[in-house]
Amino acid sequence: MFGGDNSSHEADKKLVAVIFLIVIFGMIALSSASAVVSYAKFGDAYYYFKHQLFGLGLGLAAFWFFSRIDYHLWRKYAFGLLVFSVVLLLLVFIPGLAAGYGTASSWINIFGYSLQPSEIVKLSFLLYLAAWMETRKEELGDVSRGIGPFLLILGVIVFLMIKQPDIGTLSIIAITSLIIYFVGGGRLKHILLIFMIGAVGFFVMVQLKPYQMERFQCLFNPDYDRVKTCYQVSQSLIAVGSGGVLGRGLGESRQKFMYLPEIQGDSIFAVIAEETGLMVSSLFIFCYLYFFYRGFLIARFAPDDFGRIVSIGIVSWIVLQAFINIGGIINIMPMTGVPLPLVSYGGSAILAALSACGILVNISKQVRLR
């Protein structure tokens, strides 16, 4: 389990470097962005920062653990990972465990600590799908053995996510699953079919929950309702615009003074752009792109299909989530409320992301990058 074939090569040092660069920059950004709201709520300007250090510690331990375990082990427990994913999503509906925030019921309380199961499911379901795709790659054209079971399995996860509801996380899991299906050998016509089914499902959901459509109205017209519906978008655009090219300076954000909601969570990039400006925030975005590039190289030279699919799945998840978050902040896509991976406050999110990065690093140990 430890060592084995993965000890014959070193890990991709460039991948490890960019991961830790994002994490360190993220902790600095969180310390600055959350200072005012931390003091206002808890009388301690470093409350969120100190709590994130605990989550980061767990995440780093998980990163080390998963980087040391031969990634082939997860293929053996693929079905167990599927069951684990479903059970985790069911826990949010159990009275006494469930903890809702805002309009979503996506958290559970365990011994006084909150956990967001959907963050863990991003990784566990990804590993299951990668193993499933590897074993079914010759049968994906068959409805009863390929696309049918895939839609059934994905449908169960989608249904449980809609019931929470957590549309942002749902979109990341669904799109990542489609990428895995395509990389694993799925047919393009099947992917187009799934998109059509998804579009119909989205239309029905909007009819049942009209507030979802209001987010699209904010996308096309931020002035639609600046006081309520489009408030976060409007304040984010003010923050990004006021940062200019060079930024106001680290710690000098004005929007963090209780103007911008969820500043320690999904709005943190707005403060990054305001304080560091276009140049530094663009370099920060480039770090995610470089992370994807290193993961793509690892996938390209992976020793087997499972490693290839897992690598693409992990980097697609993290980079897709980053761009959904940033896209919402600069209003080129609807605001979804997903955190900025490896940066936003949240122990479950950083634990899941660093665990995934650890698996990616383990795969890199069995790859000779050219």
Ordered strands of the 113-115 beta sheet? 98-101, 104-110, 113-115
Crossing angle of helices 167-183 and 117-136, rounded to 10°:
20
Across 70-97, average pLDDT: 84
Which of residues 268 and 262 earns the better pLDDT score? 268
Angstrom distance (rounded) from CA 138 to CA 222:
48
* Residues with Cβ within 8 Å of residue 148, at least 6 apart in sequence: none
Name the CA dihedral angle for 113, 114, 119, 124, rounded to a multiple of 10 degrees. 50
Per domain, the residue ranges of the chain are 4-364
Across 82-87, average pLDDT: 86
Contact 311, 360 (CB under 8 A): yes
Note the pLDDT tens digit of each residue in 4-51: 444 457 888 999 999 999 999 999 999 999 999 999 999 999 999 999
Which of residues 247 and 336 earns the better pLDDT score? 247
At residue 6, the pLDDT reads 44
pLDDT band at 3 (very low <50, low <70, confident <90, very high): very low
Q: In Å, what is the CA distance from 78 to each residue of 123, 291, 349?
A: 12, 26, 22
For residue 103, how many C-alpha atoms fall within 13 Å in the half-sphere facing its CB? 10
Q: In Å, what is the CA distance from 36 to each residue of 4, 32, 47?
A: 49, 8, 10
pTM equals 0.89
Supply the DSSP symbol for 69.
Answer: B
At residue 59, the pLDDT reads 94
Angstrom distance (rounded) from CA 186 to CA 340:
29
Contact 315, 123 (CB under 8 A): no
Helix (DSSP H) and strand (DSSP E) numbers for the chain? 14, 3
Report the chain's terminal Cα–Cα distance, integer Å: 27
Q: Which of 282, 281, 291 is nearest to 318 (CA)?
A: 291
Chain-centroid distance, C-alpha 242: 27
Helix then strand then coil, in percent of the chain rounded to 5, is 70, 5, 30
Average model confidence (pLDDT) across the chain: 84
Asked whether the predicted pLDDT for residue 320 surpasses 80, the reply is yes
Asked whether the predicted pLDDT for residue 215 surpasses 50, the reply is yes
The percent of residues above 70 in pLDDT, for the chain, comes to 85
Note the pLDDT tens digit of each residue in 339-370: 999 999 988 899 999 999 999 999 999 887 65
Across 273-287, average pLDDT: 94
The percent of residues above 90 in pLDDT, for the chain, comes to 39
Question: Looking only at Cα atoms, what is the longest distance across the chain?
Answer: 60
